[in-house]
């Protein structure tokens, strides 16, 4: 622990729990894996973090690509604000990798704390909203198909990749 670490209250551990459920089982499987990887990373000392952190980035690339694909399949424009938030989180995660290699040994720890604060909000708003939207248009996330494709007009929704934020 450094002195600066005592200036702010520590970010509590993030554990998987029912209040993170989005309403879509495949999305929740991905989210549960994300939370488990993040907890493992936060329990790992800095000198051993890089492989786990890179695996978390790879997992997050797939996690976000999956949701971005579902948004497009259910009528959102590709550049909606939910997809944009995914992009900016990934850019930050990659920049942290670079800074770590340049010698900032605490930066992955700080990023992991930031992700533990960010994720519950994102899951409860943008992701839960997307899950609700997918249900409302009859989209099956396991098969990535629409029960009735005529209910979705491609790229007609710009909002936030979900029904509840704009
Ligand atoms: Fe998500
Ligand atoms: Fe998301």
Residue 3 has pLDDT above 80, yes or no: no
Assess if residue 34 is contained within a domain.
Answer: yes
Tell me phi and psi for residue 25, to 5 degrees: -65, -40
- Lookup: tokens for 146: 């629409």
Domain count along the chain? 1
Cβ-contact 20, 120 below 8 angstroms: yes
Assess if residue 98 is contained within a domain.
Answer: yes
Assess if residue 2 is contained within a domain.
Answer: no
Residue 107 Cα to ligand 1 middle (Å): 23
Q: Which long-range contacts (CB under 8 A, 24 or more apart) does 115-122 make?
A: 115/38, 115/89, 116/11, 116/12, 116/13, 116/14, 116/38, 116/42, 117/11, 118/89, 119/14, 119/31, 119/34, 119/35, 119/38, 120/14, 120/19, 120/20, 122/85
Assess if residue 29 is contained within a domain.
Answer: yes
* Helix H or strand E segment including 145: strand 145-146
Which residues crowd ion ligand 2, with CB under 5 Å? 67, 127
Q: What is the CATH number of the domain that holds 82?
A: 1.20.120.50
Q: Model pTM?
A: 0.91
Assess if residue 159 is contained within a domain.
Answer: no
Assess if residue 118 is contained within a domain.
Answer: yes
Residue 61 Cα to ligand 1 middle (Å): 11
Assess if residue 107 is contained within a domain.
Answer: yes
Assess if residue 58 is contained within a domain.
Answer: yes
Task: Provide the residue range defining the domain that includes 110.
Answer: 22-139
pLDDT 10s digits, 65-76: 999 999 999 999
Residue 126 Cα to ligand 2 middle (Å): 6
CA atoms within 13 A on the CB side of 150: 0
pLDDT 10s digits, 7-24: 777 889 999 999 999 999
Residue 31 Cα to ligand 2 middle (Å): 10
DSSP conformational letter for 159:
S
């Amino acid at each position: 622990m450094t002195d600066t670490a005592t200036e702010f209250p520590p970010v509590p551990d993030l554990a998987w729990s029912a209040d993170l459920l989005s309403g879509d089982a495949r999305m929740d499987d991905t989210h549960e894996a994300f939370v488990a990887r993040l907890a493992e990373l936060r329990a790992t000392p800095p000198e051993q973090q890089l492989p786990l952190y890179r695996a978390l980035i790879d997992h997050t690339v797939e996690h976000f690509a999956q949701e971005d694909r579902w948004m497009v399949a259910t009528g959102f424009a590709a550049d909606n604000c939910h997809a944009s938030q995914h992009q900016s989180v990934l850019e930050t995660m990659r920049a942290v990798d670079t800074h770590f290699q340049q010698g900032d040994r605490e930066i992955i720890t700080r990023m992991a704390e930031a992700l533990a604060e960010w994720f519950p909000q994102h899951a409860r708003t943008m992701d839960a909203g997307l899950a609700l939207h997918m249900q409302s248009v009859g989209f099956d996330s396991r098969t990535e198909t629409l029960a009735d494709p005529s209910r979705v007009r491609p790229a007609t929704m710009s909002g936030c990749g979900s029904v509840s934020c704009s």
